[in-house]
Amino acid sequence: MSKRKVKETHMTVGECISQVQVILRERFCHQRLPEKPVGMESQHKHLLELLRRTAVHGESNSVLIVGPRGSGKTMLLNCVLRELLEVKDVNKNVLPVHLNGLLQTDDRIALKEITRQLNLENVVGDKVFGSFAENLAFLLEALKKGDRSSSRPVLFILDEFDLFAHHKNQTLLYNLLDVSQSAQAPVAVIGLTCRLDVLELLEKRVKSRFSHRQIHLLSSLSFRQYLDNVRSQLSLPQDFPDTKFCEEWNDGIKTLCEDQPVVDVLQRHYNSSKDFRSLHLLLMLALSRVTASKPAIKPTDLLEASRVCMVDSKANILHGLSILELCLIIAMKHLNDIYDGEPFNFQMVHNEFKKFLQRKSHSIHNFDKPVVIKAFEHLQQLELIKSMDGSTAKIQKEYQLMKLMLDHSQIMEALQKYPQCPTDVKQWALSAFG
């Protein structure tokens, strides 16, 4: 968003921080396009060349961009499109059509969307008229009429490509790829997907019409580059209004990235995932701790942000359970140990719990069965235990077979952290056989 013109170069700390938040937030949250994609130069060149051939020479192409989530597929494509549209003549000539597998869940919807985005004659305002068959015939005819030299090239961009392969008979994919194979209007079909086995999803006739060009975006980022990336992501641009603050900030970031605890944290994140999204999440959390009273990112901010990112959410949930619910979980753990992971029902758990109460417990008094059932149901609601068979209506609650969705170590760790856990409960959990 544009800020009003700053007359004097010197701003207050508050204004500076506000400005920093605006710039960095746009970077982390809005996935703003960078000047040049980092670490994917060859793929960038390949794709740009391919699309230019379609846009300028009227050649029909199809290509798949494959890479894990957060690896920058959309970013690469958007960078290429931006560059392509800067070329003279292309700008007015090319018709991009954006489709998303999440939104266009069947061919009928996708076709309407194509018709709408191409502004064909059967579109009035924002409404598309005609049935599916009519629309398809219309679109195909429109594409067929065209030829390589005279008609405008169409770029079909299919985000979440693998979802389009689940449509009935893959009609849309078949028709689009068929157009790209025969000498009709020039089209480029660009698919983005995170599935490596996406070609196995295609029908034989569809697969044979695909050009089998694939661009893989598998991150080859080294830790050094990762660190550089962190620095450049956090740094302020040169055109920041207050030059003095900008310099100070960038110096601060530089020293931050050399701090040993920070490097350790980043190394841990690098080891778990190299994608940019999770990095952005981390940096966003660190950035949110910057205020006017603390106008810089300190190592503790990053450490704290990392702690928030890495936390085990199930441990969090276990922490909030009541003693009764925790006792039931321990009973289930014992049942799992004794019967070697066999599923159990409420009666067995209750029995195990009663045995504990009779023999060992002094701190916990006897609960009525309905209360225990309620606790058991709460655990089921939290999906810490899961029913083995889907039909819930037919079997009584007490006898439904269940499975514990927790790890042995998770339970023990939760017990250690549990506030004011009675000693006899702890001991019961530790004893091998209930």
Partner 1 sequence: MKNAKVQIEGLISPFTDLATTVVAKDTTSSSTEYRLSRGYEDEKLQRVTERLPCREVQASMLLALMGEPEQCSYPSMFIYGHRATGKSHVIHTLLKELELPYATVSCVECVSVGLLFEQVLLSLFGSDSVSLLSRSPSLSDFVRVYKQLCVQAPAKQTRYIVLDRAELLRDMAANLLPAFLRLQELVEDNVTVILLSEIVWDKFRPNTGCFEPLLLHFPDYSKGELQQILSEDSHPSYSPELYSAFINILLGVFYSVCRDLRELRHLAALNFSKFVEPLEQGKVKEGDTHKLWRNIEPHLKKAMQTVYLRELPYYSKFLLIAAYLASYNPARTDKRFFLKHHGKIKKTNFLKKHEKTSNHLLGPKPFPLDRLLAIFYSVVDSRVAPTASVFCQISSLVTLQLLNQVGHDDQLDAPKYKCAVSLDFVLAISRTVSFDMVKYLYDFL
Instruction: List binders of partner 1 among 190-229 (CB under 8 A).
Output: 194-195
Residue closer to partner 1 (CB basis): 19 or 43: 19
265/348 with CB nearer partner 1: 348
Is 389 one of the binding residues for partner 1 (CB under 8 A)?
A: no
163 binds partner 1 (CB under 8 A): yes
**Contact call for residue 347 and partner 1 (CB under 8 A):** yes
Least distance to partner 1, CB of residue 280, Å: 9
Q: Say if strands 61-66 and 187-193 run parallel, antiparallel, or are unpaired.
A: parallel
Contact 402, 345 (CB under 8 A): yes
The answer to whether residue 394 forms part of the interface with partner 1 (CB under 8 A) is: yes
Whole-number Å distance between alpha carbons of 263 and 249: 19
* One residue of 119, 150, 313, 423 binding partner 1 per CB under 8 A: 313
Start-end of H helices in 34-147 = 41-57, 73-86, 90-93, 107-118, 132-145
For partner 1, the binding residue among 277, 354, 403, 426 (CB under 8 A) is 277
Among positions 215, 348, 402, 414, the unique one binding partner 1 when judged by CB under 8 A? 348
The position carrying tokens 């086995």 is: 197
Q: Are 169 and 108 in contact (CB under 8 A)?
A: no
CB 181 → partner 1: shortest distance, Å?
A: 27
Please identify which residue in 345, 376, 379, 406 interacts with partner 1, judged by CB under 8 A: 345
Phi-psi sector, 416: left (phi>0), alpha (psi -120 to 50), beta: alpha
CA gyration radius, the chain: 30
Interface residues for partner 1 in 414-433 (CB under 8 A)? 419
Asked if residues 152 and 140 have their Cβ atoms less than 8 Å apart, the reply is no
The backbone region for 130, taken as left when phi is positive above 0, alpha when psi lies in -120 to 50, beta otherwise, is: left
Indicate the residue type of 106. Answer: D
Residues 117-156 that bind partner 1 (CB under 8 A): 126
Q: Minimum CB separation from partner 1 for residue 56, in Å?
A: 28
Find out whether 91 and 85 touch, Cβ atoms under 8 Å: yes
Interacting residue with partner 1 among 137, 371, 388, 430 (CB under 8 A): 371
Beta carbon of residue 134, minimum distance to partner 1 (angstroms, whole number): 18
Kindly identify the residues of this chain, within the stretch 231-270, that bind partner 1 according to CB under 8 A: none
Residues near partner 1 (CB under 8 A), total: 75
Which are the contacts of 162, defined by CB distance < 8 A and separation ≥ 6?
101, 193, 194, 195, 198, 201
Q: Pick from 345, 363, 56: which is nearest to 188 by CA? A: 56
Question: Closest distance between partner 1 and the C-beta of residue 260, in Å?
Answer: 27
Question: 2-31 mask for partner 1 (x: CB under 8 A)?
Answer: ----------xxxx-xx--xx--xx-xxxx
CB 265 within 8 A of CB 250: no
Site stretch for partner 1 (CB under 8 A), options 47-55, 177-185, 210-218, 380-388: 380-388
Given the DSSP bridges, would you call strands 214-216 and 187-193 parallel, antiparallel or unpaired?
unpaired
Binders of partner 1 in range 289-308 (CB under 8 A): 289, 291-293, 308
- DSSP state, residue 257: T
Stretch that binds partner 1, among 40-48, 79-87, 287-295, 426-434 (CB under 8 A): 287-295
User: What is the nearest approach in angstroms of partner 1 to the Cβ of residue 60?
Assistant: 26
Applying CB under 8 A, which of residues 56, 323, 412, 421 lies at the interface with partner 1? Answer: 323
Residue 169 is a binding residue for partner 1 (CB under 8 A): no
- DSSP assignments along 232-294, one per residue: HHHSPPTT-S-HHHHHHHHHHHHHHTT-HHHHHHHHHHHHH---HHHHHHHHHHHHTT-BTTB
Question: Which residues are CB-contacts of 242 (< 8 A; sequence separation ≥ 6)?
Answer: 6, 9, 10, 11, 16, 19
Binding mask 97-116 for partner 1 (x = CB under 8 A): ---xxxxxx---x--xx--x
Which two structure tokens, joined as six digits, stand for 48?
């740009």
Does position 351 interact with partner 1 (CB under 8 A)? The reply is: yes
Q: Applying CB under 8 A, does 177 fall inside the site for partner 1? A: no
